[in-house]
Amino acid sequence: MSIRYADIYKGYVESDFKAIELDRNQIIRLALFVAAHTSEYKTNLEKYKFPDVPLDRLVLAHQAIFFNFATGVPPMID
């Protein structure tokens, strides 16, 4: 699996990659999971969401994608 991201994030990902046991894709997925639980993320989503879709529904969709409810941890992707 390959995840593309802007060059500005490469330094963050590389420094984390060297310091922890997660691979680069797992680091990005974890960051997205954590972001979905912050008020800043929700505030930014409000600016761009479709008017007929409640924000809570969007956040739940993100949680379903990035969180393994059976184990309680973000999924590890090869």
Residue 22 counted as domain residue: no
Residue 18: per-residue pLDDT: 92
Domain containing residue 46: 34-78
Residue 69 counted as domain residue: yes
Residues 33, 35: Cα–Cα separation, whole Å: 5
Residue 6: per-residue pLDDT: 83
Q: Which residues of the chain have pLDDT under 70?
A: 1-3, 55-78
Q: What is the end-to-end Cα distance of the chain in Å, rounded?
A: 7
| Segments in the chain forming alpha helices (H) | 7-19, 24-35, 39-48, 55-66
Residue 73 counted as domain residue: yes
Residue 61: per-residue pLDDT: 56
Residue 19: per-residue pLDDT: 93
Residues 6+ apart with CB under 8 A from 13: 5, 24, 27, 28
